[in-house]
Amino acid sequence: MRKKGQLIMLFGAIVCICAAALLSDEPTAKPASAGVVSAAFERPVLILDAGHGGADGGCVAADGTPEKGINLSIVQTMRDTAAIMGYDVICTRESDVSIHDEGVTGLSKQKKSDMDNRLAIINGYDNAVALSIHQNQFTDPQYSGAQMFYSKKSEAAHALAEAIKGRVVSTLQHENERETKPVGDELFLLDNAKCPMVMAECGFLSNEGEAQRLESPVYQKHMALTLLFGVNDYIYNE
């Protein structure tokens, strides 16, 4: 028990170092102790999916900012922090691209090919946890707040969604009362993923105030770290 407690304390210290480094403008070296934590804990592969990309911009804020870049920025921070913490991280995309097969033409066909290829990446690992990052939009601009979606077929995905939601509410959005939402085949990746997977709608670009926050690089880092800590809560309390 003493050894486990020491490892958890060490893990927490590294998380604090990562957070401080990512929320500042100063570069920092990878902590030498990260390897110790990696060796002490066996984690699943963390698969991060930045929604949309390339010609598919996703939903758009009032000022014309598409969600695809916000999604990617959040994923990049999660990727870099999780790697420092000792995770094996896989990203479905790491730049502003669609990952459809070469030679596929037409936006609808490219989107289908892109989704098929994302699913192949997600299902390519036996021990994994996946998180897809998106932004929300609605016709009524009053709505705001992050919401987690998961496959109704997966109790593990439900637990992951609740863990992430708990972190978002306790850290960033104290007034957020949105429930985690089970879905069926209307969300292709969640319905077909073999591992626990959640789609995180981080907020509403149709809400002017929330859009301004989501477009802020600092808030994007806050959101990324919050989501990652929620994943940690799921993994270490499983």
**Contact yes or no for 122/92 (Cβ under 8 A):** yes
Query: Is the residue at 125 inside a domain?
Result: yes
* Total number of domains in the chain: 1
CA distances from 92 to 48, 51, 187, 235 (A): 6, 9, 17, 21
Residue 123's domain spans which residues? 43-237
What tokens were used for 106?
């037409």
Q: Which residue has the tokens 């490892």?
A: 7
Does the pLDDT at position 36 exceed 60?
A: no
Task: Tell me the CATH number at 65.
Answer: 3.40.630.40
When comparing pLDDT for 11 and 134, which is higher?
A: 134
pLDDT higher at 13 or 124: 124
pLDDT for 41: 58
Determine, yes or no, domain membership for 157. yes
Domain assignment present for residue 14? The answer is no
3-class DSSP state for residue 133? strand
21 domain-assigned: no
- Average pLDDT over the chain reads 88
Residue range 188-230, pLDDT digits in tens: 999 999 999 999 999 999 999 999 999 999 999 999 999 999 9
Maximum CA extent, the chain: 59
Tell me, yes or no, whether 16 lies in a domain.
no
In a domain, 232, yes or no: yes
Could you tell me if residue 230 is inside a domain?
yes
Handedness of CA 193, 19, 207, 60 (dihedral sign): negative
Q: Find the mean pLDDT for residues 1-10.
A: 42
Strand 128-136 and strand 197-204: pairing?
Answer: parallel
Does a structural domain hold residue 15? no
**With 90 as the cut, is the pLDDT of residue 80 above it?**
yes
Question: In the predicted model, is pLDDT for residue 39 greater than 90?
Answer: no
Contacts (Cβ under 8 Å, ≥6 apart) of 101: 113, 117
* Residue listed under structure tokens 């069926």: 184
Alpha helix stretches (DSSP H) within 23-50: 34-40
**Number of residues in the chain:** 238
CA distance 218 to 138: 24
Phi–psi pair at 91, nearest 5 degrees: -110, 135
Answer yes or no: is pLDDT of 19 > 70. Answer: no
